[in-house]
Chains A and B, each alone.
Chain A
């Protein structure tokens, strides 16, 4: 089989222990300048609150730290190495100019409480990005405060609740399609809403008659991802909005899949009342191994008064400032103004693209997903034949007959030099294989991916064990997650 793997070749990588195992007394990677004020006696100043010992904190030199983390880094897969087809995660190229501008002195070191007079640069960035995102979504107002997508959902549902409360009744439940991401129901629970599942129809879209039947005056909102997690655009979107609006409910859009729409379709034009964006998906800020993210929430005019405080305003003298006097605001959802460093990166991305670049990006993202769909049709089961946008969901139905499941195929992809697709999600597709190439992949990279997937499908027929035992080429083989969960070892301890 090895000669079939064209994308990757094994090569030596360095072993490396835990940093604590390198530590010994007297090594140091730091040097402080001499004090320009008198020395102090800490025990005199702090009394019994003085700390004497820092336990097992390491003592190592600078070269050891550089090697330690460099070696660790080589054990990771990354977008910079190749295609990262995680569906719903939008693993696109993270432009380097974003990183450069985020490190410019006044932007990296601005203090959140410095006087507005010397914060005009940061305020201008907040304002310009807000304006761009409002235009892109077709909404009327925005808050940049939420720190991630789920945090945006929380903010959004707080707005929904505040709105209904202002109408006299907060309502009791939120409708969530069965294809939704787990953060949707978890968020609804945090805002005190009961969750009611909404089933999908045979096309993989919201079942309109089920929605009509479930909709009543107790429903505060529908949380809808569009395109949904199957990559399918909800064609009846305006009917959905009408059904909700007729009974006073709101349409909340989870913007996780906005990469299918930017520059081509605006949620504000198809009936959405409020939505969150993921700057770390659609707007190219790096995932960094799990964060930071940023989850701005854009709303229609009638929800503006409820936005978290403060909001950026233009003052009578033309300068920008923060407005804290927002009596109807839901309050703060985090300290300061949000993940500002991510705003800087997202704005740099928008500037690098401009209107035509963003449109082309979306077109390429959808084109790529359809190219992969075409390439894999037949080799893998396609549970929904409805046309898809920026991602496509296959299932392991054909391979399951040989006892090979989506996770096994995913692990085998690693040997072929790719990061796995998203496995076992959405929940409505048993054995789901969710693939989102994004716009960042060339034809060559996608052809390699298609070849790899087809080759694995053949392996499943001829030699399923190879797939079941994968990966074969990594530093570690499949890890014992059961043992990790039964007797959790969550920190290093010195051996006695």
Chain B
């Protein structure tokens, strides 16, 4: 699956799509592939202050749990409630099954993240060893 170029990526396999001071966050297709069938997504409450690099939730498959890491600091404005009952949406289309929306406290933090092409390269290299 091609990685959309309208957003940025982290080395911990989240994507973030900014629109001015607000942004949408999810996990990458590579991440869902590596996790396997996702059975549960745990998300923060609306209003939670998130700090860049810190965990904001977890995704679970049958036999593994992975932390979700905040790509850029900000306050949670919305969560994707659909994932509570239909976590399989992340497996079906990770790049449209968003998890949280945040009000960015510093949109410049996105500048340090990976582009689609760089992320694709990163994934290819990571898989190589």
Q: Do chains A and B touch in the complex (CB under 8 A)?
A: yes
B88 contacts which chain A residues (CB < 8 A)? 486
B40 contacts which chain A residues (CB < 8 A)? 485-486
Q: Does B62 contact A (CB under 8 A)?
A: yes
User: What would 6 more interface pairs be, CB under 8 Å, given A482-B37, A485-B39, A486-B39?
Assistant: A481-B62, A482-B39, A482-B62, A485-B40, A486-B37, A486-B40
Q: Does B26 contact A (CB under 8 A)?
A: no
Task: Give chain B nearest CB distance to A347 CB in angstroms.
Answer: 38
Closest to B60 in A: A485
Report the bound CA distance from A486 to B87 in whole Å: 7
- The majority secondary structure among interface residues of chain A is helix
A485 contacts which chain B residues (CB < 8 A)? 39-40, 60, 62
Report the bound CA distance from A481 to B87 in whole Å: 14
Interface magnitude class on chain A: under 10
Interface magnitude class on chain B: under 10
Question: Chain A 454-496, CB within 8 Å of chain B: the 1/0 string?
Answer: 0000000000000000000000000001100110000000000
Task: Give chain A nearest CB distance to B27 CB in angstroms.
Answer: 17
Question: Chain B 55-94, CB within 8 Å of chain A: the 1/0 string?
Answer: 0000011100000000000000000000000011000000
B62 contacts which chain A residues (CB < 8 A)? 481-482, 485
Report the bound CA distance from A481 to B60 in whole Å: 13
Question: Chain B 38-55, CB within 8 Å of chain A: the 1/0 string?
Answer: 011000000000000000
Task: Give chain B nearest CB distance to A481 CB in angstroms.
Answer: 5
A481 contacts which chain B residues (CB < 8 A)? 62
Within 8 A of A (CB), among B5-63: 37, 39-40, 60-62
Report the bound CA distance from A482 to B60 in whole Å: 10
Task: Give chain B nearest CB distance to A109 CB in angstroms.
Answer: 43
A to B CB contacts below 8 Å, 14 in the list: A481-B62, A482-B37, A482-B39, A482-B61, A482-B62, A485-B39, A485-B40, A485-B60, A485-B62, A486-B37, A486-B39, A486-B40, A486-B87, A486-B88
Closest to A485 in B: B39
Within 8 A of A (CB), among B84-118: 87-88
B37 contacts which chain A residues (CB < 8 A)? 482, 486
Report the bound CA distance from A481 to B62 in whole Å: 7
Within 8 A of B (CB), among A193-221: none
Report the bound CA distance from A485 to B40 in whole Å: 8
Q: Determine which residue in B39, B60, B61, B87 has the highest number of CB atoms from chain A within 10 A of its CB, and name it.
A: B39
Nearest 10 Cβ contacts at the A-B interface: A485-B39, A482-B37, A481-B62, A486-B39, A485-B62, A482-B62, A482-B39, A486-B87, A486-B88, A485-B40
Task: Give chain B nearest CB distance to A439 CB in angstroms.
Answer: 32
Task: Give chain A nearest CB distance to B66 CB in angstroms.
Answer: 15
